[in-house]
Amino acid sequence: MTPKERAEKSAAAMWAEDNASKWAGMEITFMDEGVATLELTVEPHHCNGHGICHGGVTFLLADSAFAFACNSRNQSTVAQHNTISFIAPGRVGDRLTATAREVSLTGRSGIYDVTVINQDGEQIAEFRGFSRAIKGQLFDETG
């Protein structure tokens, strides 16, 4: 199995159980080892009292891209902590794209950067995720 095939199979296994990302309206648009891209169209129910995309929704999108990237090797991995900087607001109708890429993977700990942009390439947010591998795999590779 190639690293890309493993990443795609890992993503499919995670996606099958990821009710939060599906509920929010996300879709996976690219997977590879240590890399993931997820997209979301901002709907009225994603907006806060200012009429812009709620920061928690933007964080959710970035966090989901991070999760798929850090689980791409079929090793169960969770977040240790994450930070986000909001740069510009998302608006109803915007297509937000979160691209996560691995910066470092040493032992059980990883660092991932996620950039969130809109359909015009305008930067919406920058997210940094710190991961920790735990016991288990997403799918059985022995058979």
* Per-residue pLDDT, 142: 80
E strand or H helix at 30: strand 27-32
In a domain, 139, yes or no: no
Mean pLDDT by 10 residues, the chain (143 residues): 96 96 97 98 97 97 98 97 98 98 97 98 98 96 77
What's the CATH code of the domain at 82? Answer: 3.10.129.10
d(CA 70, CA 131) in angstroms, rounded, equals 7
In this structure, is residue 143 part of a structural domain?
no
Question: Does a structural domain hold residue 116?
Answer: yes
Q: How far apart are CA 29 and CA 50, in angstroms?
A: 29
Tokens for 128, please give them: 């940094």
Q: Domain residues for 57?
A: 3-133
Q: What local confidence, expressed as pLDDT, does residue 143 receive? A: 64
The whole-number pLDDT of residue 141 equals: 87
Q: Specify the pLDDT at position 50.
A: 96
pLDDT at 97 (0 to 100): 98
Residue 140 within any structural domain of the chain: no
In a domain, 39, yes or no: yes
Assess if residue 141 is contained within a domain.
Answer: no
Contact present, 42 and 92 (Cβ < 8 Å): yes
